[in-house]
Amino acid sequence: MHTSCEYCGREGFYGEKIYESHKWIIYLAPSQRYLGTCVVALKRSCRDLNQLNKDEWIDFGELVILLEKAVSKTLNPTLFNWSCFKNSAFRSKNPKPEVHWHFIPRYEKKVKFDDIDFQDPDFGYIPQPVQRIIPEKTHLKLKNLIQKQLI
């Protein structure tokens, strides 16, 4: 049964780690249909948002500010989408969902990064789980760019 999350890529693989706080880890997602897409995953196994403790919420709130600031400064998107779906885990008979957020910058206008055009074809609507893999060197450049703002 295929249970990997369309927004994250492979099952259990959220991308390349770019930052770690006390309670969460930020990864640069493998798919970059929306430039700067990240995954913010909780460091412990936890099934539902209602099971997060106060420290985890506070830490998450601080990360939201940090990450939005970092990506605004570097890529200048129009807005950010945050989603916590967990749908893919429930395609399995014995679902073990993990709390993780999809952080998706959205762009009204086309942006150029590393000489590649990024157009948000779904602007104004929910992001589509269509994979876009970018060259490894561009991925690394993007990772370094965001990472520099976070540390």
**By the criterion CB under 5 A, which residues form the site for Zn ion?**
5, 7-8
Report the nearest approach of Zn ion to the CB of residue 7 (Å).
5
Q: What is the DSSP string of the chain?
A: -----TTT-STT---EEEEE-SSEEEEE-S--SSTT-EEEEESS--S-GGG--HHHHHHHHHHHHHHHHHHHHHH--SEEEEE---GGGGGSSS-----EEEEEEE-SS-EEETTEEE--TTTTSPPP-------HHHHHHHHHHHHHHH-
Nearer to Zn ion, 30 or 77 (CB): 30
Nearer to Zn ion, 98 or 114 (CB): 98
Report the nearest approach of Zn ion to the CB of residue 18 (Å).
16
Report the nearest approach of Zn ion to the CB of residue 54 (Å).
24
Report the nearest approach of Zn ion to the CB of residue 5 (Å).
3
Nearer to Zn ion, 8 or 67 (CB): 8
Report the nearest approach of Zn ion to the CB of residue 27 (Å).
10
Nearer to Zn ion, 7 or 19 (CB): 7
Q: Which residue's C-beta sits nearest to Zn ion?
A: 5
Nearer to Zn ion, 100 or 106 (CB): 100
Task: State the number of CA atoms in the 13 A half-sphere of 131 facing the CB.
Answer: 9
Look at residues 131, 142, 75, 65 and name the one whose alpha carbon lies nearest to residue 105.
75
